Amino acid sequence: MTTLSRAQLVDLVENRYFGNVDAKRLEPALACFRPDATLGIQTAGVFHTGEAAIRRMFTDFFAATQTIYHGDYSHIVDVETQSIASQFVARNTYADGRTAEMRNCNFFVLRDGKFQRVAIYMSGANPLV
C-alpha cells in the first residue's frame, strides 16, 4: 500500500494533476487516477466512472477549451486517510471565445497513491460533461 506524505499529496494535486490538465497533457493527467476511479461533479449531478469515461470527459474538455488555469490553492490534507481538500481558482477560455472564472473545491480520496474518488464543487457552469 502506497502512502503519500503531505508534500506528496499537495504535489500530486497541484503539479501532477492540475499542472497536466492545464497543459492539456491527457496521459499524465489520467495517470493520477486508479482505473476504477470516480470523478463526480457534485454541483451538476454528473459522474464519470472508470478510465474510459474519465478519458472521454477530458478529451472533450481539452478540445472545447483553448486555455485552462488552476491556481491560488488552499489545501486541507489528511495523511492518515490519504485525502486532500483543495480550494482554488479555475479560469477557462473556450474555443468559441467565452471565458469563465470559478472558485472551486475538490475533494480527493486516494488509494495506493492514486485518486480513487474525486468530488468537485463548482461555483459556475460545469464544463466537464
Cite the beta strand spans of 50-126 per DSSP E: 65-78, 83-94, 99-111, 114-121
pTM as predicted: 0.95
Q: Tell me the three cell numbers of residue 125.
A: 457552469
Which residue bears the cell 497513491? 113
State residue 78's pLDDT score.
Answer: 98
Rounded Cα distance, 73 and 61, in Å: 22
Q: Which amino acid is at 89?
A: V
Specify whether the CB–CB gap between 37 and 52 falls below 8 A. Answer: no
SS3 8: helix
What percent of the chain has a predicted confidence (pLDDT) above 90? Answer: 92
State residue 92's pLDDT score.
Answer: 96
Residue 9: CA count within 13 A, CB half-sphere: 24
**For the segment 63-78, what is each residue's pLDDT rounded down to a tens digit?**
999 999 999 999 999 9
User: Domains in the chain, ordered, with CATH?
Assistant: 6-106 (3.10.450.50)
State residue 18's pLDDT score.
Answer: 98
**For the segment 17-48, what is each residue's pLDDT rounded down to a tens digit?**
999 999 999 999 999 999 999 999 999 999 99
State residue 127's pLDDT score.
Answer: 83
**For the segment 95-106, what is each residue's pLDDT rounded down to a tens digit?**
889 999 999 999
Give the chain's mean pLDDT.
96
